[in-house]
Amino acid sequence: MLKLLPWRSSPHKTLTLDPAKPFISLSRFLSHSLSEDQYEDDPPFSPVSKPQKPKKNTTQNKDPGTKNEPTRPLKSDLPFDFSYSYSETNPKVEPIAFRESPKFSPFGPGRLDRKWTGTVAPTQQEVDLNRVAEERKRVLGDPLTEEEAATLVERYRHSDCARQINMGKGGVTHNMLDDIHNHWKRAEAVRIKCLGVPTLDMDNVCFHLEDKSGGKIVYQHINVLILYRGRNYDPKNRPVIPVMLWKPYTPIYPKLVKNVADGLTFEETKELRNRGLNSPPVMKLTRNGVYVNVVDRVREAFKTEEVVRLDCTHVGTSDCKRIGVKLRDLVPCIPLLFKDEQIVLWRGKRDQEQDSKCRDRSEKFADA
């Protein structure tokens, strides 16, 4: 057995000193003897650790009823349908398909008393518009005087304002309403800076901010807004706004650009597209820029041109389509092509017929 365990030395070991190096031999002997005494009864694998005392479970003494968990599902009395974006979606246009199942609500499973349909969570009760208008009027109180409005604007209009919310291409989103009310806890107003596609229609942005939050726009300069909470606003009685836990996938909508434009043949549509691609751009758009004057510039261009082009290099394909949809409704016009981040717009056949009628009239007067 001792042969199989070469590390086990004999307990009766004698001291043999090397006459050439007596001190080194003595130190080796002492260290070896100490190590043998330390691990005499236990092989030299690892020292046995001391048993740890079991930790006291402090959660056993706590009353489970003391946890302040929110009641599920949450019930909100807000008089409108919940959706991801209020200013950038059109409820009149129905999607043709969904990229995710509508049964997965972005508010979380069982956290809301409203059913998610894939695009909105409609309210479950009838809305009394008169009562909503009276409540909003009561919270706003008397209008601000000129001095009060000037003081409020001067405090919140600067870029170094701490009470600021940045609005991107999502527009007036659902979670932005919760951010607005969080700022209103400690401030009378909040500064909102708008960038990207929503700036094409600032009137629409202002309408949804006032309608969904209950506040009042007291200042607007290009893309900067100041939203006032009202004289009688009480942070303790703020509305219940359930937060969206994730951004839902955008549904699939009908095709924006048709192969053949309405009222034209295939050859005419192809000719207009080529003419638009070869024409100089009306203006060049940047990513997340301010597009306040784009609609007016396109309308001015349509007075002399039948087809116009917008250079949207580095803007992104999705933002190009969003811009085209808004211009179609605001100008109005017909999008013909989205290619290589270029937008080609046609003013439509009605304007062409009106121009031809005006030309015929002018020719008749000239002959007379």
Label each residue of 237-255 as H, E or C.
HCCCCCCCCCCCCCCECCC
How many CB atoms within 10 Å of residue 351?
Answer: 14
Flag whether pLDDT at 41 surpasses 60: no
Higher pLDDT among residues 68 and 277, named by residue: 277
**Which whole number is the average pLDDT over 64-89?**
77
Residue 286 CA to residue 111 CA, distance in Å, equals: 40
pLDDT at position 31: 53
Structure tokens that stand for 226 in this block: 């100041």
Beta strands in the chain (DSSP E): 82-83, 120-121, 164-167, 189-194, 216-221, 224-228, 283-284, 307-311, 334-339, 342-346
Type of residue numbered 350: R
What would you report as the CA-atom Rg of the chain, rounded to the nearest whole angstrom? 37
Q: What are phi and psi of 263, to 5 degrees?
A: 85, 0
Structure tokens that stand for 122 in this block: 């409609």
pLDDT at position 238: 92
pLDDT at position 125: 83
Of 18-32, 161-175, 234-248, which range is least confident?
Answer: 18-32
Q: What are phi and psi of 130, to 5 degrees?
A: -65, -40
**Which whole number is the average pLDDT over 304-333?**
93
- Closest CA relative to residue 290, chosen from 214, 217, 197: 197
Residue 266 CA to residue 96 CA, distance in Å, equals: 26
Higher pLDDT among residues 301 and 57, named by residue: 301
Tally of CA atoms within 13 A in the half-sphere of 365 that contains its CB: 6
Residue 321 CA to residue 169 CA, distance in Å, equals: 12
Q: Which tens digits make up the pLDDT trace of 137-156? A: 999 999 999 999 999 999 99
Flag whether pLDDT at 216 surpasses 90: yes
